[in-house]
Structure 1
Amino acid sequence: MASRAKPCSRPLRFPAHSRSQQPCPLILPSNPFARYDSAARVPRRFAHARAQQMHAPAESPKPTLGFILLAGALTAFGAVSIDFYLPALPDIARHFGATAAAAQLTMSAFLAGMAIGQLGWGPLADRVGRRPPLLAGILIYTLASLALTRVPGIEALSAGRFVQGLGASAGLVIARAVIRDRYDTIESARLFSLTFLVLAIAPMLAPTAGAWLLAHAGWESIFLVLAAFGLIVGVSVLFGLPESRSAATAEQAAGETPLQSYAAALKNRRVLAFVGAGAFNSAALFTYVSASPALFIEHYRQPPSAFGGIFALNALGLVIASQLNRAALSRWHPAVVARWGSAAALGFATLLLLLSLAGVDSMIVTMGFLFFGLGSYGFVSANASALALGAMPQRAGSISGLIGAGAFLFGALASAITAPFAASGPLPMAAAMAMGFLGAMLCIRLAIRS
């Protein structure tokens, strides 16, 4: 019989105005399928671990529809900017007389901007509050989108996309911090899954809309639409999102530099492992995102309009998985759900890799394994983010920056490596995705053992 885990001995003290408490060690049941107490949402055998889940105020406000939509829109900055742009990649390459690989590198430039930007916006949001850097980032994004309509060459396009990524990163990193300011670990994971409904509209509709704009108004019109999106979200933040940073977070940030904050977070093995899980998981996702246009449009000879439907179908798998994740969190610990989700994703990616090595090159087979493999992503991303933020809630901005930077840096590297080979068939994409899902599974196991 497994020995009983000891409850956290640290007293949980926080001022009345604070929105975060000190975390307790991660406590998991020996049986991964142990059910949760309906009130505490922890395994019944480990009801004393309730403190681990209750890192937020005793009475967190119930999320309104407006807050969910706005948080989803902020989170969707990256997805919208990528998915609207995907159908235009071949046309942009022809317009500037560039290679397909050079056009793909404009995607990597945007991802690199997203990665680097989040490292700056995260600590800044802890120090000065959530609203000022968020509004500044949206302004940079909107102006860069307008400038991208007048670039003279592919190199300038890559530079503009990098700046656009810097601005877009503010929405993603600060949205996570705002959610963590308001809710505990379990509710944060559930809300991350809920905002994914808004986020998933981008890959379901944006490629089709982008293809329509490309056919009727040219690739420049895509950036005009992105500028309008930034303007609408910016106005919504200005008038609809109050400041959420706690006094405890402000005090913590005032006593340390951003480098000290990052160093403290990286010394925490649980934070590092869950951040790594999210990074490897995102590498697999962005491998698919960057390689899919060349794979389906050039290799499988599908028109851009049909590619939009294919992309939307795989996005539907992500939507279904993210909502199943919300239901699973009422029964199992987020780390358990993430562990099994990463194992399932690795299994589907490995099967696709083995079939590709065996010479099977069917679009239907590839789509089937991508649907289930990418769907498993929905069980990992939200839970890994919530658990990383819950480990050190008073550094939510900095840890959110690490989460986003790791995800987009790994995504940029994976897309840059697979881009030159994307049109050759599903094998390069399957190999990169399998490696990403394997890394995510190993990081989750490390986090649980730590």
Structure 2
Amino acid sequence: MHGVMGRPPGAATEKAATSPMMLLLLVAMTGVAPISLYMLVPALPVLATAFGHDISIAQMTVSLYMVGIACSQIIMGPLSDRFGRRPVLLAGLWLMVIASAACIFAESLPQLIAARFLQALGGASGMVVSRAIIRDLYSRERVGSMISLVIAVMMIAQMLSPLTGGLLETAFGWRSIFYVITAASLVIAVSIAVMLPETRRVRAGGSGFRGDVGSLIKSRTFVGYMLCQVLASQIIFTFAGGGPYIVVMQMGRSGAEYGAWFATTGFAYLIGNLFCVRFAPHHQLEKLIWFGLALQFAGSLLNLVWGIAGLNQAPPWLFGTQMLVMFANAFVMSNSAAGAISVRPEAAGTASGAMGFLQMGLGALLSQFGAYLGGHFATPVPLNLAIVVLSAACASTMIFLIPRRTLVLSEALVEQAEEEESGLL
């Protein structure tokens, strides 16, 4: 009865779920694209000089990379539901290996930009497929903690990636960054080919891509969880877009000081994910989301009060309360993502892809909006107000799209289905 939908097909996946190597593979496949993004950032001025272009053109190696990440999510997720996690993931990573090698030999900035887009298109397959693999391997209530654990480990590497890129560029030139990325992506691809079993749930009926999309769009629960996760992520993008202008232009501080203060919010997000890992296995997913939503709204509202009172003209006030928001944000994002990909587990790739696409697409717009709020006003109040609105919108999705009665019923059905399927297996 291994064809029963809802459980991973085979004993290999059950062993993989408890393997420390699986955690390392999940971290590697999730982090390879974002780490590669940030490694190149310190070398952008050198790229502009080397190819004789304006820095704004060199910046396209980053901006179009983010477009590639967004496109990859909406493509690779549904493909992984149809053809399996392994083949789609391996195809994406081999594309990244080839594109990274092409970056090494790029003779012009347009060639480099095109290769970077393909690099992101392939590498981001790991971001979307990893969430689907987590849902394949773990029960609904453990998904949030596993996502948090992967994010927590990945963020440590991600925070070090700009420093690594800067050191490589200084010591060996900008092409050395792509030698390292090519080697790392090759090692990850080979490791996955050797050690990762197929985890996709065997489908009882072939509803296909249209059926998956249709059922997800019609599900208020999926839409609610997805919007909650996406809107929570926009708090990060909006603050990141406006923060530099507030600190440098309004407060008169240096860019280096802004970088140091901004790192505190990343650290708070990391700690929030670690706390989520600790508490998620022992508490209902919705309770953790509500805890995060309440704390997130309280922190953003407090930041607005500081702004109106004029206290946010000093970084400790602005970033102190933003750290509280980011700590809470970790609870909201990981657990709402877990809820979204658990609505229809056999379509976890499609759900993950839609969520990632909206997250990156809206993120590009709201980071620009945040930059406008930070750069065109004399106080941080407009940016503070925008974050309060986003926090309230997150809570609204849980209130209006996922009624409490539906939650209780869905939880009971999920638990009953999993018990029946485990018995059949």
Please state which band the TM-score falls in when normalised by the shorter chain. Answer: 0.7 to 0.9
Aligned mate of 2:284, from 323, 333, 352: 333
Q: Is 1:393 matched up with 2:349? A: no
1:152 maps to which residue? 108
Distance 1:273 1:63, change over 3 A: same
Distance 1:201 1:88, change over 3 A: same
For residue 438 of structure 1, give the secondary structure of its aligned residue in structure 2: helix
- Give 2:300's aligned amino acid: A
Structure 2 residues without counterparts, runs of 5 or longer: 407-425
- Give 2:120's aligned amino acid: G
Residues 241 and 369 of structure 2 are in contact (CA less than 8 Å); yes or no, is this contact kept in structure 1? Answer: no
- Give 1:262's aligned amino acid: V
1:132 maps to which residue? 87
Q: Is 1:377 matched up with 2:332? A: no
Aligned mate of 2:391, from 427, 432, 437: 437
Aligned mate of 2:235, from 274, 277, 284: 284
Residues 72 and 197 of structure 1 are in contact (CA less than 8 Å); yes or no, is this contact kept in structure 2? Answer: no
Offset, 1:136: 0.9
1:411 maps to which residue? 363
State how far apart, in whole Å, the 2-side matches of 1:370 and 1:107 are.
26
Offset, 1:437: 3.0
Distance 1:256 1:166, change over 3 A: same
For residue 348 of structure 2, give the secondary structure of its aligned residue in structure 1: helix
Q: Is 1:98 matched up with 2:70? A: no
Offset, 1:395: 1.2
TM-score (norm 2): 0.80
2:133 maps to which residue? 178
Deviates further, 352-361 or 238-247: 352-361
Residues 69 and 198 of structure 1 are in contact (CA less than 8 Å); yes or no, is this contact kept in structure 2? Answer: no
Offset, 1:145: 2.8
Deviates further, 386-395 or 80-89: 80-89
TM-score (norm 1): 0.76
Q: Deviations over 1:198-250 (max 9, x none)?
A: 211133312322333344344444333333321221111111111111222xx
Deviates further, 113-122 or 170-179: 113-122
Q: Is 1:113 matched up with 2:68? A: yes
Residues 314 and 370 of structure 1 are in contact (CA less than 8 Å); yes or no, is this contact kept in structure 2? Answer: yes
2:420 maps to which residue? none
Q: Deviations over 1:57-85 (max 9, x none)?
A: 9x955522111111111121343133324
Q: Is 1:77 matched up with 2:32? A: yes
Q: Deviations over 1:393-436 (max 9, x none)?
A: 12112112112112222222222433566667856654554443
Residues 200 and 346 of structure 2 are in contact (CA less than 8 Å); yes or no, is this contact kept in structure 1? Answer: no
State how far apart, in whole Å, the 2-side matches of 1:90 and 1:354 are.
39
For residue 313 of structure 2, give the secondary structure of its aligned residue in structure 1: coil
Aligned mate of 2:150, from 195, 217, 232: 195
- Give 1:406's aligned amino acid: L
Q: Is 1:213 matched up with 2:168? A: yes
Q: Deviations over 1:22-44 (max 9, x none)?
A: xxxxxxxxxxxxxxxxxxxxxxx
Offset, 1:267: 0.8
Offset, 1:382: 1.5
Distance 1:144 1:345, change over 3 A: farther
Greater per-residue helix proportion: 2
Aligned mate of 1:169, from 124, 128, 134: 124
1:343 maps to which residue? 294
Distance 1:117 1:316, change over 3 A: same
For residue 197 of structure 2, give the secondary structure of its aligned residue in structure 1: coil
Residues 104 and 416 of structure 1 are in contact (CA less than 8 Å); yes or no, is this contact kept in structure 2? Answer: no
Offset, 1:106: 4.7
Offset, 1:108: 3.7
Q: Deviations over 1:169-216 (max 9, x none)?
A: 210111111111111101112211221222111333123223333443
Deviates further, 173-182 or 289-298: 289-298
Distance 1:108 1:388, change over 3 A: same
Superposed CA RMSD in Å reads: 3.2
- Give 2:254's aligned amino acid: R
- Give 2:22's aligned amino acid: F
Structure 1 residues without counterparts, runs of 5 or longer: 1-14, 22-55
Residues 146 and 227 of structure 1 are in contact (CA less than 8 Å); yes or no, is this contact kept in structure 2? Answer: yes
Offset, 1:147: 3.1
Q: How does 1:35-54 map to 2 (within 5 A)?
A: none
Q: Is 1:265 matched up with 2:211? A: no
Offset, 1:289: 4.7
State how far apart, in whole Å, the 2-side matches of 1:91 and 1:85 are.
10
Name the count of aligned residue pairs: 393
State how far apart, in whole Å, the 1-side matches of 2:141 and 2:361 are.
27
Q: Is 1:20 matched up with 2:6? A: yes
State how far apart, in whole Å, the 2-side matches of 1:292 and 1:142 are.
34
State how far apart, in whole Å, the 2-side matches of 1:74 and 1:271 are.
25
Q: Is 1:402 matched up with 2:358? A: no
Q: Is 1:446 matched up with 2:365? A: no
Residues 268 and 326 of structure 2 are in contact (CA less than 8 Å); yes or no, is this contact kept in structure 1? Answer: yes
- Give 1:263's aligned amino acid: G
Identity %, equivalent residues: 28
State how far apart, in whole Å, the 1-side matches of 2:235 and 2:60 are.
17
Distance 1:147 1:295, change over 3 A: farther
For residue 243 of structure 1, give the secondary structure of its aligned residue in structure 2: coil
Deviates further, 138-147 or 423-432: 423-432
Residues 262 and 319 of structure 2 are in contact (CA less than 8 Å); yes or no, is this contact kept in structure 1? Answer: no
Distance 1:81 1:289, change over 3 A: farther
- Give 1:20's aligned amino acid: G
